[in-house]
A = this chain, B = another copy of it.
């Protein structure tokens, strides 16, 4: 069995977009926390942490935690632990997802399951789940832990539904639930729990939860658009992977609404042949109306997020958080 150490990934470091500069110090503390090997006696696990966190990632979820926490006064150590819990949990789900999907590449790097056996990858993901739970418990707030556990339930429920329902074309409601469960539930937990840590009142915590949820929906819709419109170099994986893998996302839903003949290929219960799928991927990439409609859907979610946010006190911290949410939608990578 090859250990991660046998082929160390390049240390990508953090390339912070300007919008994240207000939380740059927080994110630097987070990096140290994510890879902190204290108390880990087993070398392989320290290597695992380096491996799974070295590809960087956008750290958008922790940025939401830190940005939200700046709206009030919270213990910085507890906030860092919350951010670490959110990002570590996100990483744990990626490790298991890549295994389940047989993905070979993520963020331009080989996935863990290309290096480790399936069994070891299962256990590595479990260990990361445990580490995330530990970070969440370290905040010292039972309510944070309850938010975390509820979200974990939603996330895993969504994964199972996607696996058992992958065939065919989902309804818009099923699509919305899928991206809520997969992505927005984590954003929601991030901002809601930040509200708990700052001792916000119930209305403010609800507003922060709604802000995170809607921003997360927007973020995932943009991800689903970029899967068609971006380049393999930027995505770190082939363009059109979602549809090719049988997952029908919003751009495809919009396209298939206007192309019943193509919709029929999916609707009959078996996946269409590869050539047809490639043809639809190309058609969506070239259909400006479809892509614009999908972008509009993301912007509507962003607007809902900002409406919720604007019930909170105005100021520089709120402006910074708004910019982070806008960035999640306007990004091109």
Residues of A within 8 A of B (CB): 1, 3, 40, 42, 44-45, 93, 96, 99-101, 118-120, 122-127, 129-131, 133-134, 136-138, 140-142, 145-146, 148-150, 152-153, 155-157, 159-161, 163-164
User: Are A100 and B123 in contact, CB atoms less than 8 angstroms apart?
Assistant: yes
A45: B residues at CB distance < 8 A: 157, 160
Assess whether B138 is in contact with A156, with CB atoms less than 8 Å apart: no
Chain B contacts for A134, CB-based, 8 A: 146, 149-150, 152-153
> For residue A119, which residues in chain B have a CB less than 8 angstroms away from its CB?
99-101, 163
A42 in contact with B160 given A148-B133, A149-B133, A152-B134 (CB within 8 Å) = yes
Q: How far is the CB of A124 from chain B (nearest CB, A)?
A: 7
- List the number of copies, as a whole number: 2
Closest 4 CB pairs of A and B: A100-B119, A130-B152, A127-B156, A133-B149
Partner of A145, one of B130, B137, B160: B137
Residues of B within 8 A of A122 (CB): 96, 99-100, 122, 125
Contact status A163-B120, CB under 8 Å: yes
By beta carbon, the residue of chain B nearest A162 is B123
Interface core residue of A100, A124, A138, A157 (most chain B CB under 10 Å): A157
B129 touches A137 (CB 8 A): no
Q: What is the bound-complex CA distance between A307 and B140, given in angstroms?
A: 32
Docked-complex contact A127 and B1, CB < 8 angstroms: no
| Chain B contacts for A140, CB-based, 8 A | 142
Knowing A137-B148, A160-B123 are in contact, say whether A130-B142 is a contact too (CB < 8 A). no
A sample of 5 more A-B contacts (CB under 8 A), given A44-B160, A96-B126, A127-B156, is A123-B156, A129-B152, A134-B152, A137-B146, A138-B146
Contact A124 B42 (CB under 8 A): no
Distance in angstroms between the alpha carbons of A9 and B156 in the assembled complex: 24
Please name the residue on chain B nearest to A129 by beta carbon.
Answer: B129
A161 to B164, CA, bound (A): 32
Beyond A122-B99, A142-B140, whether A164 also contacts B130 by CB under 8 A is no
Q: How far is the CA of A148 from the CA of B159 in the complex (A)?
A: 24
Q: Is the CB of A160 within 8 A of B96?
A: no
Across-interface contacts of A125 in B (CB, < 8 A): 122, 126
Q: How far is the CA of A134 from the CA of B130 in the complex (A)?
A: 13
Which residues from chain B contact A155 at a C-beta distance below 8 Å?
Answer: 130
